[in-house]
Amino acid sequence: MNKKEYLAKLRMYLQGLPISELEDIISDYEEHFNIGISKGKSEEEISKELGDPKEVALSYKSTIETNYEENRQERRSRTNWLAIIVGTVLIVFAISFLSFIRDLNYSRSDGSFVNVKSNGDLVRIGTKGIEVKDGDDHVSIGWDGIKVKDGTDEVSIGWDGIKIKDSESSTSRSSSGWSFFGLGPGDLKWEEVNEEKLAKIEGVKNISISSPFVDIKVITEDRNDVRIHYHGRMKTNVVPELIVDKKNKDIDIKLELPRKSYSVNNSTVVLEVFIPKSFDGNLNSYASSGDIYMKNIVGENISFNTSSGDLILENLEGKTISITTSSGDMSLSKLVGDTINIHTSSGDMKLKDLVGKLTVNTSSGDLNLQNITSEEILLSTSSGDISFKLDDKADFKIKGSSSSGDFIPNGRMKVEENHKGRFSATVGNGQNSIEIKTSSGDVIFK
């Protein structure tokens, strides 16, 4: 069995695991092959050393399920009810505090009444709400709801319901009335889905993919049609229906709920879409509460819209790449476009090896950038640090402002200004530009 065959079988047997976990395992085994080949071993020899891919996958699944069951009750209790209680207490505090402050008719120029930052920790209270950050723990309260993040665990409470997410599973509850808080009937039971559909690609210019809470995964293959595979297990009171609609130049792939009210727990379901490598049209993805994973896509206009879920994008190329999220972390790597636009309300971002005019606007969350190639970079944040790692060929004129935070240049920069919240510097000849505006957060160049 050669490398390609081994990894394909391993991927098949690992189906049902969370997308990020599955991709990490595949990446590790791909690295095993690369190391073995560099030592003069054949792909067949390495395959035998690694073992039967089916047994390897079953071992991983068994270990993950065992660890999950051992921690399930503790995690559920801690993540769900503690987060709701903490959020409720903070809301009461915020309302009382804001009323008191408004009576005093006092505020800072950046709209914050309290803005304390020390060693990466943050307490900020202002017209946009309240935000507390302590290491990996992050609580934010605003008009769009409550978001509580503890490492990889996350709870968000908004107008569209409650969404609970941890490193191994996710829970969503959405409805109207007080059943929003779980006071209505649950009737949850385990459901398993395994459905596959095909769609012809001839003449298609637009592909749209949408899901209420199921993770979306899009990758390219050597094929002449679109393959959709909807599979996995979930504990739920409703099972979304897979609908594939092809009209003229459009393919619409969606998971549709039979009713607005739903509750889902412990979902490992994924909507996988395999599109031809030859497709070069427009691609749009929307997830209300679920992750989106996309890799090796070349298109015209590529757009993403998520309410609560992580975004993992790798090796994408398009004329325009547009991203809009309400809550969730982002990991973007090797994106190429004439313009790349990112707008997010809450969540950390890691951007690496991006090429194109880049615009980033975020309300809350840290921003980490590395090796960005662009004639123009515009960064705007309300709360969160900006960390920028420049490569040796960097050639930028940098200018910006920070209402509350420090500008920390690297050793290769020529600093022209760094005083009273304003800063400017040059690296290289300064042919390209970086403009930064932040209300609360440090700006660090490495």
Q: Taking a C-beta distance cutoff of 8 angstroms, is the pair 365, 346 a contact?
A: yes
* Least-confidence region, from 7-21, 23-37, 106-120, 243-257: 106-120
pLDDT tier, 106 (very low <50, low <70, confident <90, very high otherwise): very low
85: phi then psi, degrees, rounded to nearest 5: -65, -45
Percent of the chain whose pLDDT exceeds 70? 74
Please say if the pLDDT value at position 230 is more than 90. yes
Please say if the pLDDT value at position 199 is more than 90. yes
Query: pLDDT (tens digit, 9 = 90+) per residue, 166-185?
Result: 555 555 555 444 344 444 44
| Nearest alpha-carbon partner for 302 in 319, 321, 324, 274 | 321
| Residue type (1 letter), 399 | K
Q: Which two tokens stand for residue 276?
A: 């031809």
Question: C-alpha angle with apex 119: 115 to 124, nearest 5 degrees?
Answer: 20
Dmax of the chain from CA atoms?
75
CA 369 – CA 347 distance, rounded (Å): 14
**Arithmetic mean of pLDDT, 206-222:** 94
Please say if the pLDDT value at position 201 is more than 80. yes
**Arithmetic mean of pLDDT, 192-215:** 95
| Nearest alpha-carbon partner for 333 in 3, 1, 23 | 23
Report CA-CA distances (Å) from 438 to 192, 244, 338, 372, 374.
Answer: 46, 43, 25, 19, 20
CA 274 – CA 295 distance, rounded (Å): 11
The full DSSP string for 59-107 is HHHHHHHHHHHHHHHHHHHIIIIIHHHHHHHHHHHHHHHHHHHHHHT--
Query: pLDDT (tens digit, 9 = 90+) per residue, 381-408?
Result: 988 899 999 988 899 999 999 888 899 9
Q: Taking a C-beta distance cutoff of 8 angstroms, is the pair 384, 403 a contact?
A: no
> Which has more confidence, 298 or 139?
298
CA 344 – CA 333 distance, rounded (Å): 17
215: phi then psi, degrees, rounded to nearest 5: -60, 145
Query: pLDDT (tens digit, 9 = 90+) per residue, 347-381?
Result: 889 999 999 999 999 988 889 999 999 999 999 99
> Which has more confidence, 128 or 231?
231
Per-residue pLDDT at 107: 46
Per-residue pLDDT at 165: 63
| 161-165 and 422-427 strand pairing | unpaired
CA 331 – CA 297 distance, rounded (Å): 16
